[in-house]
Amino acid sequence: MTTYDHLLHLSRAGATLLHIASYEWERVRGHVIGLSNAMELPLRVWSQSTGLLACTEDGETRVEDDAAIDPLEILRQIHSSDEPGVWLLEDFQPFLREEHHPLLRWLRELARMPTSPRKLVVLSTPLPGLPMDLRKEIPTIELDLPGVDDLRVVLHDAASALGVRASDDEALLDAARGLTVMEARLAFGKAAAELGRLDLGAVPLVAREKERIIKQSEVLEYYPTDARMTDVGGLDQLKVWLDRRGRAFGAGARDFGLDAPKGVLLLGVQGCGKSLLAKAVAATWQFPLLRFDLGKVFGGIVGQSEGNIRTALQVAQALAPCVLWIDEIEKGLAGMGSSDQTDGGTTARVVGTLLTWMQEKRDPVFVVATANRIDMLPPELLRKGRFDEIFFVDLPTREVREEILSIHIGKKRRDPKDYDLADLVERSVGFSGAELEEAVREGLYDAFAEGRELSTEHIAHALDKTFPLSRTMREQIEGLRQWAKVRARLASGQAPEPLPQDSAETAAPRLRQEATRNPFIPGGRS
């Protein structure tokens, strides 16, 4: 059901006061004009800058009373009017605050008006959220981001305004998905100004402008999908599982009875390819990749955090099919248990919105969440229904380390066959993929400084100087492995290698504990 259908049904049900939340004033006004036409009632539009305007069924406006800028007075005027009609009150958010008690009271009076004469008032605000006094009496409708049909209208409108040729290429319209009408018009206009036309050649320009606009939100980041699945070493069982899930987005999957895959939670040791895999999945499936920074959701203004999470999820749904990558999700969920004591429940509400969306979403948005600390994850996140599966990503085994070293040596335009990979693998027991990559990079720096070609000895020397996480965080990794045995699937089909035992010379540094005497122990000896 469309937003317009919701408005029409609510008005026919006898509602006298409605609330529409959207930045897109033009689409909101268009919906209300259509509503007034369907109800065969005159429409008036009010804002504090223009006063009261009369609006025709075609959307043309004329000034009716430019002195009517007092919001309280306009509410009284509507309530006392004997004439039927529809009133659209634009940008009403500054007056929907607890300190405006008389104004809120008049809104409640409008919500209780009789249905004869037929009067309907529509409040328009950029963001959802009403004071507690009004939430039970005023229905709120959030306007979805524009779809392909709406973007087609914007495309031709922008082309006509700039006098350029436009084609209804689906790729061009898809490139603008996730943008508001105003943002799409700007993106199309910028591409037209640069190319002199709006066709398939404008797709990269529109996509680049969309990347800038989405990044400007500071919550979502549009990531280029330049990684490949071949860049990820090991994780054979996870790759097979992802291949099967990817097929469920193809033609015939819905007819076969398959639901759109929800996503995957990747738990495990840092630096073992979890984030790289998120990028590779999007590239393999040819989906746009959105990085969702859950920590940046929280804002200082009341209601801003809840608005940020809704906006981010709305953009993800508008871009579907896409991959939504939530990196280190446990950091964004920290403090959920004590939210009511520390932040008035904001964290709990934000996380609740995210979890409910993950459970109920029907759009093809595949969530890839990564986590390093299982002790910080709430139980609600781990239960079935949020994700299709939970995988544990362990340290690479001997064969996988050889594959990872080959990948990174090859990326440096060297032939892996020219290096003693067996020796490097033997030296790197307990190393993560990120630590192996860094060893190759460090070896390259050393070779360049010496004026020599990169050799096995350079990489081996870099490995010997590295103190891997498997030694500094041995207890945490062992705890992760124990937890994953019964709660997650293993990303690799190979059994994990035992962590290396430190000798006395290579033991991980620990704080020295000196034997001291406490003079404050009652009855203690001096």
Q: Is the pLDDT of residue 216 over 80?
A: no
503 pLDDT band, cuts 50/70/90, is low
Q: Is the pLDDT of residue 349 over 90?
A: no
Q: Are 412 and 386 contained in the same domain?
A: no
Spatial CB neighbours of 210, under 8 Å, sequence gap ≥ 6: 175, 176, 178, 179, 183, 187, 222
420 pLDDT band, cuts 50/70/90, is very high
Higher pLDDT, 359 or 123: 123
Using CA atoms, how far apart are residues 356 and 370, in angstroms rounded to an integer?
19
**Maximum distance among all alpha carbons in the chain?**
97
Max mean pLDDT range (340-349, 453-462, 474-483, 485-494): 453-462
Q: Are 181 and 284 contained in the same domain?
A: no
Higher pLDDT, 10 or 228: 10
Q: Is residue 472 part of a domain?
A: no
What pLDDT sits at residue 113?
92
345 pLDDT band, cuts 50/70/90, is low
Max mean pLDDT range (33-42, 193-202, 225-234): 33-42
Using CA atoms, how far apart are residues 46 and 82, in angstroms rounded to an integer?
18
Angle at CA of residue 34, ends 96 and 74, nearest 5°: 35
Q: Are 165 and 34 contained in the same domain?
A: no
Higher pLDDT, 380 or 424: 424
Q: Is the pLDDT of residue 384 over 80?
A: no
Q: Which residue, among 156, 159, 153, has the nearest Cα to 195 in the 3D structure?
A: 159
What pLDDT sits at residue 129?
82
**Percentage of the residues of the chain whose pLDDT score is greater than 70:** 92
524 pLDDT band, cuts 50/70/90, is low
Instruction: Output the six-digit token pair for 399.
Output: 């064969």
Q: Is residue 500 part of a domain?
A: no
347 pLDDT band, cuts 50/70/90, is confident
**CATH number of the domain where residue 420 is located:** 1.10.8.60
Average pLDDT over residues 163-175: 85
Q: Are 387 and 282 contained in the same domain?
A: yes
Q: Are 134 and 18 contained in the same domain?
A: yes
Q: Are 269 and 355 contained in the same domain?
A: yes
Q: Do 191 and 202 contact (CB within 8 A), yes or no?
A: yes
Max mean pLDDT range (43-52, 163-172, 192-201, 386-395): 43-52
**In terms of C-beta density within 10 A (0-12 exposed, 13-18 middle, 19 or more buried), how is residue 242 classed?**
buried
83 pLDDT band, cuts 50/70/90, is very high
What pLDDT sits at residue 373?
80
CB atoms within 10 A of CB 150: 19
Spatial CB neighbours of 387, under 8 Å, sequence gap ≥ 6: 262, 263, 264, 265, 358, 367, 369
- What is the distance in angstroms between the CA of the first residue and the CA of the last residue of the chain? 82
Using CA atoms, how far apart are residues 240 and 276, in angstroms rounded to an integer?
16
Q: Is residue 488 part of a domain?
A: no
Q: Are 7 and 56 contained in the same domain?
A: yes
Instruction: Express each pLDDT in 31-63 by its tens digit.
Output: 999 999 999 999 999 999 999 999 999 999 999
Instruction: Express each pLDDT in 248-286 by its tens digit.
Output: 887 778 788 888 889 999 988 888 888 889 889 988 888
Give φ, ψ of 354 to 5 degrees. Answer: -65, -45
Q: Is residue 479 part of a domain?
A: no
Answer positive or negative: Cα dihedral of 212, 213, 215, 221: negative
Which stretches of 3-92 are DSSP H helices? 3-12, 25-39, 71-80
Q: Do 121 and 110 contact (CB within 8 A), yes or no?
A: yes
Q: Which residue, among 455, 396, 398, has the nearest Cα to 422 in the 3D structure?
A: 398
Instruction: Output the six-digit token pair for 367.
Output: 């969530």
Average pLDDT over residues 153-174: 88
Q: Is residue 437 part of a domain?
A: yes
Coil, strand or helix at 375: helix
385 pLDDT band, cuts 50/70/90, is confident
Which stretches of 112-261 are DSSP H helices? 148-162, 170-175, 181-195, 203-216, 236-247, 253-256
Choosing from 88, 114, 142, the residue where a domain stops is 142
Cα distances (angstroms) measured from residue 306 to each of 236, 261, 298, 314: 39, 26, 8, 12
Q: Is the pLDDT of residue 337 over 60?
A: no
386 pLDDT band, cuts 50/70/90, is confident
Q: Is residue 175 part of a domain?
A: yes
Higher pLDDT, 523 or 384: 384
Q: Is residue 477 part of a domain?
A: no
Question: Model pTM?
Answer: 0.72
Q: Which residue, among 227, 244, 338, has the nearest Cα to 283 in the 3D structure?
A: 227
**In terms of C-beta density within 10 A (0-12 exposed, 13-18 middle, 19 or more buried), how is residue 272 classed?**
buried
Q: Are 168 and 276 contained in the same domain?
A: no
Choosing from 142, 161, 187, the residue where a domain stops is 142
Choosing from 337, 359, 393, the residue where a domain stops is 393
Q: Is the pLDDT of residue 514 over 60?
A: no
Q: Do 285 and 368 contact (CB within 8 A), yes or no?
A: no
Spatial CB neighbours of 419, under 8 Å, sequence gap ≥ 6: 405, 409, 455, 456, 459
Average pLDDT over residues 176-186: 88
Q: Is the pLDDT of residue 343 over 60?
A: no
User: What's the per-residue H, E or C state across 423-438?
Assistant: HHHHHCCCCCHHHHHH
**CATH number of the domain where residue 303 is located:** 3.40.50.300
Higher pLDDT, 74 or 470: 74
Q: Is the peptide bond before 321 cis (omega within 30 degrees of 0)?
A: yes
Using CA atoms, how far apart are residues 25 and 125, in angstroms rounded to an integer?
9
**Percentage of the residues of the chain whose pLDDT score is greater than 90:** 42
Q: Are 13 and 105 contained in the same domain?
A: yes
Q: Do 432 and 469 contact (CB within 8 A), yes or no?
A: yes
What pLDDT sits at residue 82?
92
* Residue count (the chain): 526
Average pLDDT over residues 410-434: 92
CB atoms within 10 A of CB 211: 15
Using CA atoms, how far apart are residues 227 and 211, in angstroms rounded to an integer?
18
Domain extent for 450: 398-466
Q: Is the pLDDT of residue 332 over 80?
A: no
Q: Are 55 and 120 contained in the same domain?
A: yes
Q: Are 132 and 77 contained in the same domain?
A: yes
Backbone region of residue 162 per phi and psi (left: phi > 0; alpha: psi in -120 to 50; beta: other values): alpha
**In terms of C-beta density within 10 A (0-12 exposed, 13-18 middle, 19 or more buried), how is residue 55 classed?**
buried
Q: Is residue 499 part of a domain?
A: no
Q: Are 287 and 348 contained in the same domain?
A: yes
Higher pLDDT, 186 or 507: 186
Domains in the chain, number? 4
What pLDDT sits at residue 228?
85
What pLDDT sits at residue 258?
84
402 pLDDT band, cuts 50/70/90, is very high
Using CA atoms, how far apart are residues 288 and 207, in angstroms rounded to an integer?
10
Coil, strand or helix at 83: coil
**DSSP element (H, E) containing 439:** helix 433-450
CB atoms within 10 A of CB 90: 21
Mean pLDDT is lowest, of 82-91, 352-361, 441-450, for 352-361
In the predicted model, what is the mean pLDDT of the chain? Answer: 86
Higher pLDDT, 450 or 347: 450
Instruction: Express each pLDDT in 3-28 by its tens digit.
Output: 889 999 999 999 999 999 998 999 99
How many CA atoms, within 13 angstroms, populate the side-chain half-sphere of residue 75?
Answer: 22
What pLDDT sits at residue 374?
78
Higher pLDDT, 490 or 45: 45
Q: Is the pLDDT of residue 513 over 60?
A: no
What pLDDT sits at residue 510?
53
